[in-house]
Amino acid sequence: MSIDSALFHSALLALTPILLAALGGAICERAGVFNIGLEGMMLIGCFSGVAGSWFTGSAWLGVVFAALASAAYSMVLAVGTISLRGDAVVLGVALNLLAVGLTGFLLRTVFGVQGTFSDPELAGLGGVDIPFAGPVLSGHSVLVYLSWAAVAVAAVFLARHPWGLRLRGVGEAPDAAATLGVSPAKYQYAAVLTSGVLCGLAGAQLALGNVTLFSENMTAGRGWIAVVAVMLGRALPLGVLLAGLLFGIAEAVGFRLQGLGMPQQATDAAPYVVTLIALFLSTARRRRRKSPVSPVSPASPVSPVGEPA
């Protein structure tokens, strides 16, 4: 297998949906909301983007449809976890499962087909030719470049902007933030809504940028990989970018190996194998960093329970 510019070009394409969704998950994590519904939100974005593009004839209106539909879908998670105090894991899994069934039903109802919808007249996101950028960075859709800018904006926002600092405060100490007059629910709702918009953009890129079609369950676990990217990147925008790039390269390598004759089942598993290995290494590293608790000396004036002897 040769390592060339086409491989890295494909890696950036594979990175973009994961990166956009993972940024949304990272913002939620910073606000104290564990969002594992990224997969379902992305899938809603995929279908809505294709439907919007098909009915309006404009790929960019399809992107708007994707962002709005995914944002609306994310409000189910927001209401369930923030207002009703439901379990975020249960609600996130439910949203992922519901999205699979809902988009499959809408595919048959709206387009009258099963499995996959594609049409030569379906408008997709074209590539932007940047002559001085080279073959790796040139030729991508605007959403690819937007995802890179979103990393920088998110990093500055969380580190410098008053709203970003309050958002982090809500996630780290909601009770303390409330005593200072900051509404935790307000910032958490905003975080979940932002993640919905980003997941919608991720779905639009996947369905209208990487390809120009919709197929049932076409996200194929990318939302779950985005959740892992949030964990590996410690909910930091730059960390999420690096983790997502790892998975993007793994997916691109899988496609290249498939073209060389390897079984599709083996190449499709490449990103998930990398995910498991990365999780294992990350967990092992964190455990090594934890310093063992030294036993209390019998001569110490403090008893083992922390009370004066």
In this structure, the number of other CB atoms found within 10 A of the CB of residue 201 comes to: 29
User: Would 249 be classed as within a structural domain?
Assistant: yes
pLDDT band at residue 107 under the 50/70/90 scheme: very high
User: Would 259 be classed as within a structural domain?
Assistant: yes
**pLDDT at residue 291 greater than cutoff 80:** no
User: Would 297 be classed as within a structural domain?
Assistant: no
User: Would 89 be classed as within a structural domain?
Assistant: yes
The domain total for the chain is 1
- Give the pLDDT of residue 271: 76
**pLDDT tens per residue across span 179-218:** 989 999 999 999 999 999 999 999 999 999 999 999 999 9
Q: What CATH number is associated with residue 60?
A: 1.10.3470.10
- In one letter, which amino acid is 298? P
Q: Which helix (H) or strand (E) holds 117?
A: strand 116-117
User: Would 307 be classed as within a structural domain?
Assistant: no
- Give the pLDDT of residue 283: 78
pTM (predicted TM-score): 0.88
Within 13 A of 294's CA, how many CA atoms are on the CB side?
4
User: Would 17 be classed as within a structural domain?
Assistant: yes
User: How is residue 248 written in tokens?
Assistant: 């993007």
Q: Which helix (H) or strand (E) holds 225?
A: helix 222-232
Q: What's the domain range around 172?
A: 5-117+141-287
User: How is residue 126 written in tokens?
Assistant: 């074209």
User: How is residue 105 written in tokens?
Assistant: 């039903």
